[in-house]
Each structure stands twice: as C-alpha cells, then as structure tokens.
Amino acid sequence: MRARFPRPRRRELLTGLGAALIAGGALALFAALPGRPGQTAHAAANPAATVDIHNFTFVPGDMTVAAGATVVWKNGDDSPHRIAAVGGGYASPALDSGDSYSHTFAAPGVYRYICSLHPYMRGTITVKPATGS
Amino acid sequence: MSDRHQSASTGAVRLGRRGLLKCMSWAGAGVVWSLGGGVPRMLGPLGTAAAQAASTELTFVQISDSHIGFHLPPNPDPAATLGEAIAKIKAMPQPPAFLVHTGDISHLSKAEQWDQAVEVIKGAGEQVYYIPGEHDVADAGNGAAYLQRFGKDTQGRGWYSFDVGGVHFIALINVFDFQPGFKSAGLAKIGDEQLEWLEKDVAGRSASTPIVVLAHLPLWTIYEPWGWGTADAGRALAYLQRFASVTVLNGHIHQVIQKVEGNVTFHTANSTAFPQPRPGSAPAPGPIKEIPAGMLGKYLGVRTIGFRSGAAAPALTDSVLLG
C-alpha cells in the first residue's frame, strides 16, 4: 500500500523540477487549448505537502493531509536526519543536508514519526479521507 | 550546569553520595586521569602518561565518531582527521593490543563511507573491535547494512563480548531501539533480549574480573532533551554492580565527560571528526562550526586505556590531535 520513493539526488531533483516545469507548461498549453480542459485540475489533485527540517525540528510538527497525499520531508539542517515511522511501516535512509524523502499516505489515520538519529524529534501526519471518495 | 547533570542522571542511574559529589569531571584536553578506587585524580601532562602506559600489561586505544561522509564546517574532510588520529596511535612508544571504535564510523551508513573508514584505520596495523552508532544503522533497512558488514561474529543485533589479558570486554548496542513510546523521552534502549544475554554473559565470572563496556550512547543520562542517555541502562549496570572494576567507554556526544559511581566509571570520548556543544549549551546538538582556522585538532582526539598489574581499574589518557 505504501509506496517508497528513492531519495532523489540533487541533480535528479533539478532534472525533475525542469521536467515538471516543462510538463506544467505543456499542461497549461493544453489547458488553454479548446477541448482539452481538466488536465490542470488532475495535476493539482495530488499535491505534495512539505515538512521542513530546521534546527532539529519538523516544521510543521503536525500536518493534516488527504488520503493519497505525498508528504515530502526536506532536510535543511547541517546534520543528517532520518524519518522513521513509530511502530515501523516506513523509514527513509539517512537524509544528508539538502536531501529529501517522500512517502505517500494512502489510508486515513494518525501517523507518528520520529528522527531515528535524534529520537526526540517527533511529528504527526493526520490523514483524512479524500474528499469525494 | 552540574546541577542539571545530577538531576538528569537519577532517572537512569542510581547515584550514591560519592557519585553526586564526584559526579561530573570535565576533562581538560591533554591531561591524564588515573582511576584508582573509583575516583579520578589528575596525574599530570601527557608526557608522563606515555611513560606510564609503557609499563602497563594491557593497553588499548579507543577512537570514536569518525563520521566519514560528513563534509560541512568545521571539518570538510573527516577522513584526514581520522588519519591524524591513526598516525598518533602509530607513534605510540608501545603499540596497543587493539583498537576499539565506539560507533558513528560513517555519517550516513553508506558502504563507501565504511570502506574509507576501514581503509584509514587499517593504517594502524591493529585489530579493531567496532560497534555501531546510530549513524551506522541509518540505512533504509534499519541497520541491515551494518550488521551484514560488521556483525558476523556477534549476537542478536550486533552485541558481543571477548576477553583479553584477563579483562572482560562487553560490546553493548544501544542505537537500535529508539521507540520506547511516543510520549516518553526519546532515549535509546539496550532492550530485553540483549539485557538477558548480558546477564548470562557475566553470570559465571569472578567479581574480580575487570569489566570494560563499550557502547555508543552514554549509559547514564547526560542530557535527556538531546537524547544523551540510555533508557534501560540501570538494568545493565545492575548486572555489573558486583564487579570490582567496571569501565564504560562510549562516544556519541563528541566530547570528554566522565562520571564515577561506586565501582563504575563512565567516560564519553572525543570524536575524530567534529566537536559538539556542551550539554544544553546550544539550541541543538549539531556540530560546533565556529572553530578558528587550524584549531580543529584541539577538539578531536583518541583515548588510551591501560591496565596495570595489581591495579583493578585502568588508567585513561585522553589526548587531542593538536596537543
């Protein structure tokens, strides 16, 4: 059920970003064309929610998302951090400074996580049922 | 600051009167501590120590927290500073019997980081006993990579014991079980399985056998808000209480702090990569970045442990890379 994403490298992130911009541009073009509506709406249906890691703190510490949402953790510290679900389920590799990790939450529930390198760092993802489902 | 340490200590470790009085000894760089009768005394500068170490029956060296793969200030090249530490060990007048590395060999649990660390440490030409730090079990497989590489002759999740020169060494692993419950303190645990193994491991031994415990995280709670402690250390220490001399060597906090409690002495070690703040003295326990150029070696070091004949407790020498 839970997808695990490989940790994107910086270059891949940049490439991905470029591709996304191009794709976004293409979608915008398509959307602007008569008879091709809806594609931008589809692209916006699964937005990534971001948890920033700063000064050994998850920001925001508590986040609420809709089922199916992907949460991205970005390490902005000069120390590595590692996302680990309380009770298991998913865990990132160690995230170096600037690295990101993402996890998609398919089912509603309350998901607690810690940094396994600094286990006093904690956060919660609350997953609500997706609207319309 | 010592008030905070003492109150923080009571959760994990029973403190006697002497423990409270003698609790925290901040070791200055490059001095010698002799541990006789459970109370450290300062003996003198490093030169004296070298002479003393030469007459010991068993000498070994502790290195810790090499963090190969770290690449930011204050140390863009921790392999180089690890190399300096190894050079210091090679220059010892009498080679040590072996080295112990008390964890955080790598920064990010990557094979190439362990490769580089092992290659540099090999330069000492000595046998090395490794234990993992939490940075060594931070792969997506929750430590599988470390155990596959370093865990061959170990029990459970990497613990083991061995005997050299009449001294019993116990390698405790306290970097796996970080989830005692979401609402309790984020302290690591040794865990029931390992504690049961420890109880059996020491059961038949004479109380006069000197014990050396290797662990990555401290076995007393130095600063709970930063997770600098081990939740169930008290149970491990209870199994060791009857021994005349117990020396606990750990890493993790990148600075030398010592504590005495009865026959048990606790010693955290310097890193070979970068220093960390004194407990609670900074918003977070990350690396100290602001170090004057060329002075990093004053904050990094190695430790020599020597057992003399007739003396129950070993003599410890902490020396910095830039003395």
HSE, CB side, 13 Å, CA atoms: give it for residue A97.
11
Chain B touched by A4 (CB under 8 Å): yes
pLDDT band at A47 (very low <50, low <70, confident <90, very high): low
Task: State the Cα–Cα distance between residues A82 and B57, nearest whole angstrom.
Answer: 43
pLDDT of residue B177: 74
pLDDT of residue B165: 92
B174, B182, B252: best mutation site toward chain A, by most A Cβ within 10 Å?
B182
Residue of B nearest to A96 (CA): B108
pLDDT of residue B178: 65
List, as one string, the DSSP characters of B219-255. SS-SBGGGTBSBTTHHHHHHHHTTSS-EEEEE-SSSS
Structure tokens at A31: 């959307």
ipTM, interface predicted TM-score of the complex: 0.74
Whether the Cβ atoms of residue B259 and residue B23 lie closer than 8 Å to each other: yes
**Please, which residues have CB within 8 angstroms of residue B75's CB and are 6 or more apart in sequence?**
B81, B273, B274, B287, B296
CA B180 distance to own-chain centroid: 23
The CATH class for the domain spanning A10-128 reads mainly beta
Smallest Cα–Cα separation from B33: which of B41, B25, B45? Answer: B41
Apex CA A59: angle with CA A54 and CA A60, to 5°? 175
**What are chain B's domains?**
2-98+108-281+296-320 (3.60.21.10)
Chain B hits for A4, CB-CB cut-off 8 Å, are: 140
Structure tokens at B286: 């990350």
pLDDT of residue B132: 98
Helix (H) or strand (E) holding A84: strand A83-85
Exposure of A102 by Cβ count < 10 A (0-12 exposed, 13-18 middle, 19+ buried)? buried
- Shortest distance, CA A46 to any CA of chain B (angstroms): 25
B34-75 pLDDT, tens digit each: 443 333 434 444 444 444 444 568 999 999 999 999 999 999
Contact flag A80-B72 (C-beta cutoff 8 Å): no
Chain A hits for B186, CB-CB cut-off 8 Å, are: 114, 118-122
Whether the per-residue pLDDT at A22 is higher than 80: the answer is no
**Mean per-residue pLDDT over chain A, rounded:** 75
Whether the per-residue pLDDT at A41 is higher than 70: the answer is no
Torsion of CA B136, B139, B145, B150, to 10 degrees: 0
Tell me, what DSSP letter sits at residue A94?
P
Chain B hits for A121, CB-CB cut-off 8 Å, are: 186
pLDDT of residue B184: 52
End-to-end CA distance of chain B: 27
Task: State the Cα–Cα distance between residues B6 and B14, nearest whole angstrom.
Answer: 11
- Shortest distance, CA B269 to any CA of chain A (angstroms): 19
Q: What percent of chain A has pLDDT over 70?
A: 63
Task: State the Cα–Cα distance between residues B44 and B84, nearest whole angstrom.
Answer: 24
Residues of chain B with pLDDT under 50: 1-54, 180-182
Structure tokens at B225: 């808000």
Pairing of strands A109-115, B99-101: unpaired
Contact flag A117-B179 (C-beta cutoff 8 Å): no
Contact flag A97-B72 (C-beta cutoff 8 Å): yes
The CA distances from residue A43 to A12, A27, A64, B61, B228, in Å, are 20, 9, 20, 59, 45
Of the partner residues B73, B179, B286, the one whose CB lies closest to the CB of residue A114: B179
- Enumerate the β-bridge partners of residue A128: A66
Task: State the Cα–Cα distance between residues B98 and B208, nearest whole angstrom.
Answer: 23
B234-276 pLDDT, tens digit each: 999 999 999 999 999 999 999 999 999 999 999 999 999 999 9
Count of CB pairs separated by less than 8 Å, A with B: 75
A55-114 pLDDT, tens digit each: 999 999 999 999 999 999 999 999 999 999 988 889 999 999 999 999 999 999 999 999
Structure tokens at B209: 């056998």
Smallest Cα–Cα separation from B271: which of B97, B24, B68? Answer: B68
pLDDT of residue A132: 63
